[in-house]
């Protein structure tokens, strides 16, 4: 994994100031690639690259990289998992002179051989810029599923790009202004959707998208090169679905184990990470595999018994990290300084702490992210199933009575407690499908946001993002439409922001075998009935395919994802820390939040009358981010 930064002079040639900017932007990204750093400079392209050496750790793999006659340059961040197969398929060794064994050089020569259409051959994660001086073209590309980040900002003369938002603060004349639309959506979702960032002047390149820059004609254009294949293939039988899913998962894990640097795995105790470790055991590699688990002190949040069970089964070198409130207080400001944007995901700080510990042992971590989205494992999918039955079986007047009764229940701060799920379900059940899908996981409703935000705009409801994908995708089955929403928003805009920033803050590369393109293309065409059996058989085909690879106790359980008990911890020392930010003076400095409403929900939460843990966590994250990046602009002092 690496960090990239660059400038392309579209209207005019690059200047000495542009060169200085890229030099400073590249320095900011050192944590993404502490092993080496370099730049390529030409009249209209400046490319900066830091390198975390994983495959071919010699200097031969340093970046940026050029072809034999130096007419094509590649500024690269990524791991193409099928690079060995592609090198053999196109006999690249016979056609080009290779100086390394990296996937980077395979990407470089595939482009020289096939042009930009070579993207259709790849599987893996990547974000890169190709500068082709012969054709006077440049391409800035992001991978299929948005696993690796890429941001850009236009100037009157050209285009800056980088792996992280923080790099843009180094541009000499950039004036960054708050994107209040992005922030409004953040307080619904807990993340910023689509291509939005906290600043109006910076945009995120969408997954499966590239910018083509024609330097001769001084123009640019945006292109999409891939889309999800959610079209059910009913010719696939049940046995074939199980066996092929198993075969493809094994193949993906094998490809993702290729590394010349020490490699380990996260182990949550759920199906996805247990499946990966089970495959590693099947391949005979588990005895030298480092596994890393997070443990929460609160009982309802603790999955350590399953983590230990799987680690003992595989006989891995297991590390267990316990996260306590004082760990959150110690790490939260640093974590947000690295993350660049507020994010409500309760796994951000635990993941940051895990990666910090793992970096003492490995440079690569395999993660199970993507499995829940791919195989429809979320409770919101089960809620969709039950919603249809509930509305059909129970008259509306009785549903209203049930809802009123449920909402009178006292708050319970346990993880995914009955009262939390029942309140969300009964209030969301009356909504249209995409609206209900958001309602079951929102942070603040639109009505609540109108009280929270002084800048609230009723013309941009967040649910429009869900409605657009649901109604305009052309996908037939409702569950596949909901899967697309989860993939395009929650996976990319939340989970991958969390994983990329928290892992790379500690110079650790994350890999995601469940997002192997070959596997994804197969699973998304399976009949929905193989992924969701009846009302509660979530991820059915995955569990059946992986059944031989883990103990029966793992097969039978339903994981519930990594989360922090911030609702409980707010009642003690985390609350004391939070009040440094949750006070009238600090909140009013934002000119965005309404202190009266913030104070109201804070007092209600502390009284135990209602659980506002997640909404308060979103406010705290925003306030710390605002302090670091807007108010004091002192984020650099919190990064090593």
Q: What is the mean pLDDT of residues 264-286?
A: 97
Percentage with pLDDT > 90 across the chain: 89
- Are 217 and 287 found together in one domain? no
Q: Judge whether residue 507 has pLDDT over 70.
A: yes
Dump the DSSP string for 8-49: EESSS---HHHHHHHHHHHHHTGGG-BSEEEEEE-SSEEEEE
- Are 250 and 305 found together in one domain? yes
Min mean pLDDT across 337-341, 541-545, 636-640 is at 636-640
Min mean pLDDT across 186-190, 237-241, 633-637 is at 633-637
Q: Which of 556, 575, 591 is a domain's end point?
A: 556
* CB-neighbour burial class of residue 585 (10 A; exposed 0-12, middle 13-18, buried 19+): exposed
Q: What is the mean pLDDT of residues 125-142?
A: 99
- Are 244 and 202 found together in one domain? no
For 189, the 3-state DSSP assignment is helix
Asked if the structure places residue 528 within a domain, the reply is: yes
Q: Which of 199, 224, 249 is a domain's end point?
A: 224
Q: pLDDT averaged over the chain?
A: 96
Contact call for residues 364 and 262 (beta carbons, < 8 A): yes
- Are 212 and 274 found together in one domain? no
Asked if the structure places residue 192 within a domain, the reply is: yes
In angstroms, the Cα distances linking 36 to 33, 62, 104, 175, 506 are: 7, 7, 15, 30, 16
* Total number of domains in the chain: 2
Q: What is the mean pLDDT of residues 45-74?
A: 98
Q: Judge whether residue 1 has pLDDT over 90.
A: no
Asked if the structure places residue 422 within a domain, the reply is: no
Q: What is the mean pLDDT of residues 578-590?
A: 98
Residue 324's domain comprises 238-376+490-556
Asked if the structure places residue 27 within a domain, the reply is: yes
Cα separation, 217 vs 136, in Å, equals 9
Buried b (16+ CB within 10 A) or exposed e, 320-349: eeebebebbbebbbbbbbbbbbbbbbbbbb
Q: Judge whether residue 198 has pLDDT over 90.
A: yes
Q: What is the mean pLDDT of residues 67-71?
A: 98
Q: Judge whether residue 95 has pLDDT over 80.
A: yes
Token duo for residue 377: 């494992």
Closest CA to 226 of 126, 110, 103: 126
Going by the DSSP 8-state scheme, the letter that residue 207 receives in this structure is T
Q: How confident is the model at residue 175 (pLDDT cuts 50, 70, 90)?
A: very high
The size of the chain, in residues, is: 640
Q: Which pLDDT does position 347 carry in this prediction?
A: 94
Asked if the structure places residue 627 within a domain, the reply is: no
Q: What is the mean pLDDT of residues 149-155?
A: 98
Q: Judge whether residue 28 has pLDDT over 80.
A: yes
Q: What is the mean pLDDT of residues 489-514?
A: 98
Beta strand pairing status for 203-204 and 36-41?
A: unpaired
The strands making up 65-66's β-sheet, listed across from edge to edge, are 65-66, 72-80, 124-132, 137-142, 209-214, 219-224
Q: Which pLDDT does position 415 carry in this prediction?
A: 60
- Are 262 and 142 found together in one domain? no
Asked if the structure places residue 496 within a domain, the reply is: yes
Q: Judge whether residue 298 has pLDDT over 90.
A: no
Contact call for residues 183 and 622 (beta carbons, < 8 A): yes
CATH of the domain at 128: 3.60.20.10
Cα separation, 121 vs 517, in Å, equals 10
- Are 102 and 208 found together in one domain? yes
CATH of the domain at 318: 3.40.50.620
- Are 191 and 279 found together in one domain? no
Token duo for residue 142: 């992001």
Token duo for residue 13: 């040639």
- Are 242 and 362 found together in one domain? yes
Cα separation, 152 vs 268, in Å, equals 34
Q: Judge whether residue 536 has pLDDT over 70.
A: no
Phi and psi at residue 76, to the nearest 5°: -135, 140
Q: Which pLDDT does position 86 carry in this prediction?
A: 99
Q: Which pLDDT does position 414 carry in this prediction?
A: 66
Asked if the structure places residue 402 within a domain, the reply is: no
Percentage with pLDDT > 70 across the chain: 98
Asked if the structure places residue 514 within a domain, the reply is: yes
Cα separation, 531 vs 375, in Å, equals 6
Residue linked to tokens 């929900």: 601
**Global pTM exceeds 0.95:** yes
Q: Which pLDDT does position 13 carry in this prediction?
A: 96
Q: Which of 528, 556, 584 is a domain's end point?
A: 556
Q: Judge whether residue 416 has pLDDT over 80.
A: no
List, for residues 589-602, the tens digit of each pLDDT value: 999 999 999 999 99
- Are 144 and 21 found together in one domain? yes
CA pseudo-torsion sign 470, 475, 479, 482:
negative
Contact call for residues 14 and 7 (beta carbons, < 8 A): yes
Cα separation, 238 vs 526, in Å, equals 10
Phi and psi at residue 312, to the nearest 5°: -70, -40
Contact call for residues 394 and 426 (beta carbons, < 8 A): no
Q: Which pLDDT does position 388 carry in this prediction?
A: 85
Min mean pLDDT across 462-466, 555-559, 579-583 is at 555-559
- Are 166 and 301 found together in one domain? no
How many Cα atoms within 13 Å fall on the side-chain side of residue 631?
16
Min mean pLDDT across 194-208, 220-234, 412-426, 577-591 is at 412-426
- Are 301 and 360 found together in one domain? yes
- Are 143 and 252 found together in one domain? no
Token duo for residue 617: 């966590």
């Amino acid at each position: 994994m690496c960090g990239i930064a660059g400038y392309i002079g579209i209207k005019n040639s690059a200047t000495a100031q542009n060169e200085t900017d890229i030099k400073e932007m590249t320095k900011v990204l050192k944590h993404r690639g502490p092993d080496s750093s370099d730049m390529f400079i030409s009249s209209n392209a400046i490319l900066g690259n830091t390198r975390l050496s994983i495959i071919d750790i010699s200097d031969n793999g340093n970046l940026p990289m050029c072809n034999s006659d130096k007419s094509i340059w590649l500024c690269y961040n990524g791991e193409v998992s099928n690079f060995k197969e592609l090198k053999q398929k196109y006999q690249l060794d016979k056609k080009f002179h290779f100086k390394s064994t990296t996937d980077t050089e395979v990407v470089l020569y595939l482009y020289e051989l096939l042009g930009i259409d070579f993207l259709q051959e790849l599987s893996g994660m990547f974000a890169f810029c190709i500068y082709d001086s012969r054709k006077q073209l440049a391409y800035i590309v992001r991978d299929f599923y948005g696993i690796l980040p890429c941001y850009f900002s236009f100037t009157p003369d050209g285009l800056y790009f980088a792996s992280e938002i923080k790099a843009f603060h180094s541009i000499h004349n950039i004036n960054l202004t708050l994107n209040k639309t992005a922030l409004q959506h953040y307080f619904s979702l807990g993340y910023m959707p689509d291509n939005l960032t906290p600043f109006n002047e910076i945009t995120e390149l969408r997954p499966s998208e590239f910018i083509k820059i024609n330097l001769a004609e001084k123009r640019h254009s945006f292109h999409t090169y891939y889309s999800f294949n959610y079209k059910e293939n009913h010719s696939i039988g049940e046995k074939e679905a199980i066996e092929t899913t198993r075969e493809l998962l094994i193949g993906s894990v094998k490809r993702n184990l290729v590394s010349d640097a020490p490699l380990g795995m996260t182990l949550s105790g759920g199906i996805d990470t247990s499946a990966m470790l089970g495959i590693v055991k099947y391949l005979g590699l588990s005895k030298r595999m480092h596994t890393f688990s997070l443990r929460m002190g609160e009982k309802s949040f603790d999955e350590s018994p399953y983590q230990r069970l799987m680690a003992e089964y595989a006989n891995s070198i297991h590390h267990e990290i316990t996260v306590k409130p004082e760990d959150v207080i110690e790490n939260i400001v640093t974590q947000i300084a690295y993350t660049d944007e507020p994010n409500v995901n309760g796994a951000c700080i635990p993941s940051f702490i895990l990666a910090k510990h793992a970096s003492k042992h490995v440079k690569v971590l395999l993660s199970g992210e993507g499995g829940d989205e791919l195989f429809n494992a979320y409770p919101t999918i089960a809620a969709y199933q039950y919603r249809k039955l509930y509305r059909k079986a129970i008259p509306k007047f009785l549903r209203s009575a049930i809802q009123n009764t449920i909402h009178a229940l006292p708050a319970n701060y346990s993880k995914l407690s009955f009262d939390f799920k029942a309140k969300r379900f009964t209030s969301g059940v009356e909504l249209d499908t995409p609206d209900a899908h958001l309602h079951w996981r929102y942070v603040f409703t639109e009505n609540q946001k109108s009280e929270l935000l002084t800048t609230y705009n009723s013309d941009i409801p967040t649910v429009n993002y869900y409605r657009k994908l649901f109604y305009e995708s052309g996908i037939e089955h409702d569950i596949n439409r909901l899967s697309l929403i989860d993939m395009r928003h929650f996976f990319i805009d939340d989970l991958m922001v969390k994983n990329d920033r928290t892992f790379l803050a500690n110079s650790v590369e994350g890999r995601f075998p469940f997002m192997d393109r070959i596997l994804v293309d197969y699973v998304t065409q399976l009949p929905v009935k193989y992924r969701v059996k009846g009302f509660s058989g979530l991820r059915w085909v995955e569990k059946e395919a992986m059944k031989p690879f883990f103990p029966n106790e793992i097969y039978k359980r339903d994981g519930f994802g990594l989360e922090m008990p911030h609702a409980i911890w707010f009642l003690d020392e985390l609350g004391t820390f939070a009040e440094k930010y949750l006070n009238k003076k600090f909140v009013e400095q934002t000119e965005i939040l309404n202190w009266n409403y913030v104070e109201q929900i804070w007092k209600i939460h502390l009284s135990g009358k209602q659980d506002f843990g997640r909404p308060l966590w979103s406010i705290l994250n925003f306030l710390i981010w605002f302090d670091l990046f807007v108010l004091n602009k002192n984020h650099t002092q919190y990064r090593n």
